[in-house]
Amino acid sequence: MEREQRIKIAVQKSGRLADNSLELLKRCGLNYSRGTDQLICFGENMPVDVLLVRDDDIPSLLAEGVCELGIVGLNVLLEKAAEGPGLTEPTELGSLDFGHCRLSIAVPRGTTYRGTESLAGKRIATSYPRILATWLSERGIEAEIVVLSGAVEIAPRLGRADLICDLVSTGSTLAANDLEEVDLVLDSRAVLVAGERPADSLRAEWVDRLVSRVDGVLRVRESKYIMLHAPRAALDEIRDLLPGSEAPTVMPLDGMDDKVAVHAVCQENVFWETLESLKRAGASSVLVLPVEKMLA
């Protein structure tokens, strides 16, 4: 395959999203070898290469057409989008199931916080000045935004700010710096993002394939295949108990007229409670299997 016909997907090189992003691509069937400079992984079985970059650079790489797809935090995407239009606006294709974190307001422990009004006239350190400015103006609050590109959490101790607006995931960074989370600005997670659609149809097709595989991987992670025996008389009740399944397959059981076999794909996790309810409704021989692959 010629170089030009390959597509590129940008993911975070190291940090919160890095491992999960590469893992997701592997689950999409991509085998890659890591280049010597470790900045690009060449796909071996698909014309797809992975760029390992700083997450903050991903929106621009998409806007400039350097890559066709990217995995980035919603926080980074929105902050960059608020900078104004690039060559093309990256399109968010959907949320992924990792990278959950909050962009939050945090104050030095012991500071009284009585809602957003408490922010009026304060100096707030952040790496997300645009998201924060929008959030403040929507609430009619005027405050000074101190833009820092890193180490935001130490700004109050250094006297550079009164409080901060930063990402919180486990909360350990805040705790280590004696800060307390008091308000939510943005609920964030990793999202799949696309740049401009390739004009070349082969490449466009690979973008679509990858997007649909990502979708398949996400569905599969939640999905279970469930098999059970049900008394014919309890079929309706049992069907209603199967979580997130559309139309279960009902099959006769050899030599049993009063029972049928029910097979269904549940698009949600199947919990022990569900199995217990199924049993109470008369189900027997209940098996729950993980789903390996799924194509809608």
Give the residues lining the site for ligand PRP (CB under 6 A): 15-16, 55, 150, 152, 166-173
Choice between 49 and 55, CB closer to ligand PRP: 55
Residue closer to Zn ion by CB (options 56, 196) is 56
222 binds, among Zn ion, ligand PRP, none (CB under 5 to 8 A by kind): none
117: which DSSP letter? Answer: G
- Residues 76/167, Cβ–Cβ less than 8 Å: no
> What's the Cα-to-Cα distance from 191 to each of 188, 254, 282, rounded to whole Å?
9, 48, 42
Cβ distance 286 to 274 under 8 Å? no
56 near Zn ion (CB under 5 A): yes
Per partner kind, with CB cut-offs from 5 to 8 A, the member of Zn ion, ligand PRP, none near residue 269 is none
In the complex, the smallest distance separating the C-beta of residue 139 from ligand PRP, rounded to whole angstroms, is 23
Task: Please state whether 241 falls in left (phi above 0), alpha (psi between -120 and 50) or beta.
Answer: alpha
- Asked whether 92 and 44 are in contact (CB, 8 A), the reply is no
Nearer to ligand PRP, 15 or 94 (CB): 15
Residue nearest ligand PRP, Cβ-based = 173
Q: Which of 72/260 has CB closer to Zn ion?
A: 72
Helical residues (DSSP H) of 55-108, grouped into ranges: 58-63, 74-81
Residue nearest to Zn ion (CB): 55
**Which of ligand PRP, Zn ion, none has residue 29 at its interface (CB below 5 to 8 Å by kind)?**
none
CA distance 179 to 296: 46
Q: How near is the Cβ of 178 to ligand PRP at its closest, in Å?
A: 13
Return the number of other C-beta atoms located less than 10 Å from residue 23's C-beta: 12
**Can you give the binding site for Zn ion, defined by CB under 5 A?**
55-56
